[in-house]
């Protein structure tokens, strides 16, 4: 069942926001990264190719890709827990946001040239074979193949233009975005995870020992409205963020409470879920990563080890969600 906010399907809203933001981000990258053409010093050529042509080609590519797979991406977001069972649905927002950080900072720039080539060849194929329903080598004409090759030249050219300076992009993303934002990302994620953890306890108690957001094994007509808990989670998140940013020491107490709750909810979900339904998904791996992330600065006495474990668990949480997302995206037809 799709989740909605005032009648708007949440997964489709996420896809729409992504379609809007991706081209903006691409143009910003080409504005702030000092790309230079390696085959000419002409400022006019540099402007039109680097600041106009390249971001336009890459933006069109992503727009085509996202619009083409809009329904599939939306269904993937809704089905990710059903297929993988490794990401706790109650903590989906935490895992999803940490994944977005990593995707846009590290993965997105690297796969953009590949997406561009695939998108332009796909557009060429669709324009020349719009009456065909499938891609079969035996039925693809020479004109279609030639058109696809010609269409691929433009994104390949754009990639070649920035390839020698691609190291600048990596340096920019690492030094100007990732490192300055790392502490803020950590605090934001910690506060979010803590608020969601406390909310999961309320839901767990409200539903007699199991969270309705993990796996529904009770009559859906008997499930209770959780709107007030969602509002409480939002309030707690803002409150924790205020305490953390202003470095009030009491935030450590709330972090400890959140860590204990994550461990408790994981245990209850595992044993009571298995007791009710043999195939119940305990989301054990997801809860372990969340517990490691939240408990790293509570259980480790060495500051350096604590920070290292915290950041690595944050990266692993993102990697887990990214893997689950792409696995669900590729296997969606199998459900």
pTM: 0.77
Residues (pLDDT < 70) of the chain are: 1-7, 81, 84-85, 89-90, 130-140, 207-226, 272-284, 297, 299-303, 334-335
pLDDT at 212: 42
- Is 216 among the domain residues? yes
- Is residue 250 domain-shared with residue 303, that is, in the same domain? yes
Q: Do 138 and 231 fall into the same domain?
A: no
Regarding whether 263 and 224 lie in a shared domain, the answer is yes
Q: Could you tell me if residue 98 is inside a domain?
A: no
Report pLDDT for 131: 58
- On whether residue 95 sits in a domain, the answer given is no
111 assigned to some structural domain:
yes
pLDDT (0 to 100) of residue 85? 66
On whether both 235 and 193 belong to a single domain, the answer is yes
Say if residue 243 is in the same domain as residue 149: no
Same domain, 312 and 271: yes
Residue 125 and residue 266 share a domain: no
- Three-class DSSP category at 212: coil
Q: Are residues 77 and 164 in the same domain?
A: yes
For 116-175, write each residue's pLDDT tens digit. Answer: 999 999 999 888 876 555 555 456 678 888 999 999 999 999 999 988 887 777 778 778
Indicate whether 134 and 255 sit together in one domain: no
Q: 299 and 195 in one domain? A: yes
Residue 148 lies in a domain: yes
Q: What is the DSSP string of 239-275?
A: HHHHHHHTT-TTHHHHHHHHHHHHHHHHHHHHHHHHH
The CA distance from 99 to 103, in Å, is 6
> Judging by beta carbons within 10 Å of its beta carbon (0-12, 13-18, 19+), is residue 319 exposed, middle or buried?
middle
Contact 312, 303 (CB under 8 A): no
Q: Which residues of 199-229 are buried (b: 16+ CB within 10 A; e: fewer)?
A: bbbbbbebbeebbbbbbeeeeeeeeeebeeb
Is there a single domain that holds both residue 63 and residue 184? Answer: no
Asked whether residue 35 is assigned to any structural domain, the reply reads yes
Give me the pLDDT at residue 202, please.
80
Kindly state whether residue 93 falls inside one of the protein's structural domains: no
Tell me the residue range of the domain where 63 lies: 4-84+104-169
Q: Give per-residue pLDDT as tens, 48-85.
A: 999 999 999 999 999 999 999 999 999 998 888 677 66
Domain tally, the chain: 2
What does the pLDDT read at residue 251? 93
């Amino acid at each position: 069942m799709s989740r909605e906010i005032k009648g708007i399907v949440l997964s489709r809203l996420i896809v729409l926001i992504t379609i809007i933001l991706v081209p903006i981000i691409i143009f910003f990258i080409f504005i702030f990264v000092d790309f230079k053409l390696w085959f000419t010093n002409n400022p006019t050529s540099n402007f039109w190719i680097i600041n106009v042509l390249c971001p336009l080609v890459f933006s069109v590519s992503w727009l085509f890709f996202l619009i083409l797979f809009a329904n599939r991406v939306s269904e993937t977001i809704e089905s990710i827990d059903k297929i993988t069972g490794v990401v706790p649905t109650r903590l989906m927002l935490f895992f999803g946001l940490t994944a977005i950080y990593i995707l846009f900072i590290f993965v997105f720039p690297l796969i953009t040239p590949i997406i561009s080539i695939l998108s332009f060849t796909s557009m060429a194929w669709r324009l020349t074979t719009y009456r065909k329903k499938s891609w079969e080598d035996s039925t693809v004409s020479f004109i279609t193949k030639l058109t696809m090759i010609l269409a691929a030249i433009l994104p390949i050219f754009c990639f070649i233009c920035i390839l020698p300076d691609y190291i600048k992009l990596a340096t920019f993303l690492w030094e100007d975005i990732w490192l300055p934002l790392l502490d803020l990302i950590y605090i934001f994620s910690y506060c979010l995870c803590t608020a969601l953890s406390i909310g999961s306890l309320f839901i767990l108690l409200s539903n007699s020992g199991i969270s309705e957001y993990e796996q529904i094994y009770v009559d859906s007509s008997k499930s209770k409205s959780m709107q007030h808990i969602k509002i409480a989670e939002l309030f707690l998140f803002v409150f924790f963020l205020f305490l953390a940013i202003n470095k009030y020491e009491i935030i450590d107490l709330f972090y400890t409470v959140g860590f204990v709750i994550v461990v408790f909810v994981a245990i209850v979900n595992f044993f009571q879920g298995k007791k009710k339904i043999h195939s119940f998904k305990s989301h054990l791996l997801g809860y372990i990563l969340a517990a490691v992330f939240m408990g790293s600065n509570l259980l480790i006495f060495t500051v350096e080890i604590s920070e290292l474990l915290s950041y690595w668990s944050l990266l692993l949480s993102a990697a887990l969600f990214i893997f689950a997302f792409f696995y669900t995206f590729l296997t969606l037809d199998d459900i």
